[in-house]
Amino acid sequence: MKKIICILLVQLMLLSSMAGCAAAPGNTNTEISLEGTPTVFSDLTGIPLDKTVMKVGGREISAEQFFYWVCYVCGSLEHNMLSDYNSYGMYGSYIDRDTMKVQWDSDYNGVPLVEYALAEAKSTVKYYTAIEEAAEKLGVTLTDADRKAMKQVRDQAVKEMGGEKTYPLYLQMLGVSEETFEKISAYPYLYNELLNLVFQEGSPLYLADEDYNNYATYADQILIATQNMQSGEKLPPDAYLEKYNLAEDILKQLQSAADPIATFQKLADEYSEDPGRVANPNGYVYTPGTMVGEFESAAAALEPGQISDLVQSDYGFHIILRKDLMEVLNKSEDQKKGIAREYLDDYLAKQRAASEVEYDSCLKDINWSDFYIRYTAVVDKLMEQMPGAAEK
């Protein structure tokens, strides 16, 4: 998963970002009312809010929910791109520098950026639907503590928006009813309840200690670099040979040591040129795809306590010590939870892959770039109604 955090707080961030980067108000052809269910999405598309536009494993997704997630993904993408552009000069090819707006029709890996965003929105819908399906399948429901936490977050949102009288304005910006908003806000709590089952012995999701090795590895290394670790420039042949001879000598010391593990630590502290060693003096707990491929393959072939031969990569020569994963996980609840999330996300991904997905043909008729730009124009117009907006 992606990382799951409280959706409501993300929504508050998203709306505040829209206030600064939304398209200039224009003719949206949308009458804004704070009474009843928000109709912004149906006004923009002509599609009834309760129309089923997507099915995931037979589960129906309404237009209201679908359009919300499209705008959520576009808003998050827009916010991140503009932030990175302003801070680091990134994504310049996607931004109109005169208006500081994202150009949704610009090419992104061979497809228009808006098509990428739409694919991400569809994936997001499938992800949260998988959480919902898993919760129903496993009998997981919101606890009283969950509902209390959700209420506290909602109360904070109401306060931030200026009170109950102004809160409907917030829902208008999101384009969803209070009922749909509560459903969306419940997903991270359902996810956490599923995560609790991963640690509950006897549950269908329980992950036994010995099975954590299927999702993460704990290993230390001595790296003798054959490139400049700052510039990436390869060392000349004579310096390369010196590094090889040094790596061979270190390996021989380890192979002849009375206590190879203690000797490894000593030699690593003395010789390793791994720039990450300062932050990870005892090694790395990593998930597949995190480390260089040669490192991961060699570590996977070792048993805890074993030391590899020389392993060569573009970075240099690695000598790897495989360590007992549970040794560190039993001392770090956060790291253990992180791996448990990897396991749960893998379970949810398999659920998604097994679900048949259908889309209503009405979605093909929507100009998605125009849809999102017009939506942000409505949000901009609504922001003018916020308490104190005139003073800003």
| 261, 236: one domain | yes
Token pair in block for residue 54: 């997507």
| 139, 219: one domain | no
Residue range(s) defining the domain that contains residue 260? 211-328
Last residue of a domain, one of 300, 328, 356: 328
| 358, 233: one domain | no
| Position 306 in a domain | yes
Q: What is the pLDDT of residues 194-216, one digit of tens each?
A: 999 999 999 999 999 999 999 99
| 374, 309: one domain | no
Residues of the chain with confidence (pLDDT) below 50: 1-33, 392
Last residue of a domain, one of 304, 328, 352: 328
Neighbouring residues of 178: CB distance < 8 A, sequence distance ≥ 6: 171
| Position 26 in a domain | yes
Provide the pairing of β-strand 111-112 with 52-56.
unpaired
Token pair in block for residue 81: 């791109």
Last residue of a domain, one of 328, 362, 379: 328
Based on the structure, what is the number of domains in the chain? 2
| Position 161 in a domain | yes
Helix (H) or strand (E) holding 357: strand 357-359
Residue 59 near residue 131 (C-beta atoms within 8 A)? no
| 100, 202: one domain | yes
Distance from C-alpha of 88 to C-alpha of 85, rounded to nearest angstrom: 5
Helix (H) or strand (E) holding 265: helix 260-271
Distance from C-alpha of 392 to C-alpha of 379, rounded to nearest angstrom: 16
Q: Tokens 């090694």 — which residue?
A: 283
| 217, 200: one domain | no
| Position 334 in a domain | no
Cα angle 6-10-15, degrees, rounded to a multiple of 5: 150
CATH number of the domain bearing residue 246: 3.10.50.40
Residue 17 has a CB neighbour count (10 Å cut-off) of: 17
| 201, 131: one domain | yes
| 159, 127: one domain | yes
Q: DSSP states of 247-316 as a string?
A: HHHHHHHHHH-SSHHHHHHHHHHHH---TTTTT-TT-EEE-TTSS-HHHHHHHHTSPTT-B---EEETTE
| Position 73 in a domain | yes
Q: Model pTM? A: 0.81
Q: Which amino acid is at 89?
A: G
| 306, 368: one domain | no
| Position 32 in a domain | yes
| 19, 131: one domain | yes
| Position 2 in a domain | no
| 216, 202: one domain | no
Nearest Cα to Cα of residue 16 among 383, 384, 317, 287: 383
| Position 1 in a domain | no
Give strand pairing partners of 358.
Answer: 55
| 143, 74: one domain | yes
